[in-house]
Amino acid sequence: MTARFTTSDGLSLAYDETGAGHPLLCLAGLTRNMADFDPVVAEFADRARVIRLDVRGRGLSDHAPDWRSYSLPREAQDVLELMDHLGLESASILGTSRGGLLAMTLAVGHADRLAGAILVDIGPVIERAGLEPIMEYIGRPPVWRSHAEAAAALPEAMAPRFAGVPEATWRAHAERLWSEGSDGLALRYDPRLRDAVLEGAQDGALPDLWPLFNALAGKPLALIRGANSDLLSAETAAEMRRRRPDIVFAEVPDRGHVPFLDEPESVAAIAAWLDRVA
């Protein structure tokens, strides 16, 4: 059941938790929400306390009055405040894309609160080729008018990065991304998130994130990469593995940015990582 807590700057954020065991806090990508982790709940609630947060401005959480608070430092603070609300001294993070960046951000300033991390299709080097399509769609409603229409069009729209995805998965994906109403499909996030991203990209320079990755030293770590990802390159993944020979690694065939986490490779990697922290 969805619950809520209030942040120190007054926003009501939505979260839910299912299962028992090691606390695994799931953080979604830039424009995504907790529903992305439905497969994780279905597969692992008998092995972990799966906690899912709708980050500010996404999903069922409040939109921020000031879009400038859609930033990694503020969102990381929200994560800490949720942990305080739940009475968690520490937790592991399963972070997809931006959620993985939040895990690395917390590793720098709050390593004692981070028990481990699973990074999904994200690393210390973000490829510009992967950022370009994000800038095209962020903040803009889809062209399709219904979930059914979107599910029918997504296989072609997402090709060739995604192949062999079942029709039911595309339908579930569309329902997680957009709400359906009489006027068509609508975003499940604050469109002003686009302003925050544009402001962050103004100088054109991508920051050096390797110190953030290095801060995960000593933490149980896993990396799941879509084999066709245009955001996390094979070269960056290889360097991450070189620096962390103990990392649990999976590359998911026929998937780009990001895998759905229901693939056998994804499930096996999460299971192997849980074996280490249990």
Q: What is the pTM of this model?
A: 0.97
Convert the pLDDT of each residue in 151-184 to its tens digit.
Answer: 999 999 999 999 999 999 999 999 999 999 988 9
Q: Is the pLDDT of residue 205 over 70?
A: no
Structure confidence by residue, pLDDT tens digits, 170-179: 999 999 999 9
Task: Answer whether residue 202 shows pLDDT above 90.
Answer: no
Percent of the chain with pLDDT over 90: 91
**Range 159-166, long-range pairs (CB < 8 A, 24+ positions):** 160/228, 161/226, 161/228, 161/229, 161/230, 161/255, 161/256, 161/257, 162/228, 162/254, 162/255, 162/256, 163/254, 164/254, 165/254, 165/260
81-111 in b/e form (b: 16+ CB < 10 A) is: bbbeebebeebbbbbbbbbbbbbbbbbeebe
For the ranges 42-56, 201-215, 217-231, 255-269, the lowest mean pLDDT is seen at 201-215
pLDDT, tens digit, for every residue of 75-84? 999 999 999 9
Q: Rounded to 5 degrees, what angle do the CA atoms 41, 100, 259 make?
A: 55
Question: Could you give all domains of the chain from N- to C-terminal order, each with its CATH number?
Answer: 3-137+207-277 (3.40.50.1820), 140-188 (no CATH)
How far lies 33's CA from each of 56, 57, 175, 202, in Å?
10, 10, 11, 26
Check whether 143 has a pLDDT greater than 80.
yes
Dist CA 150 CA 256 (whole Å) = 18
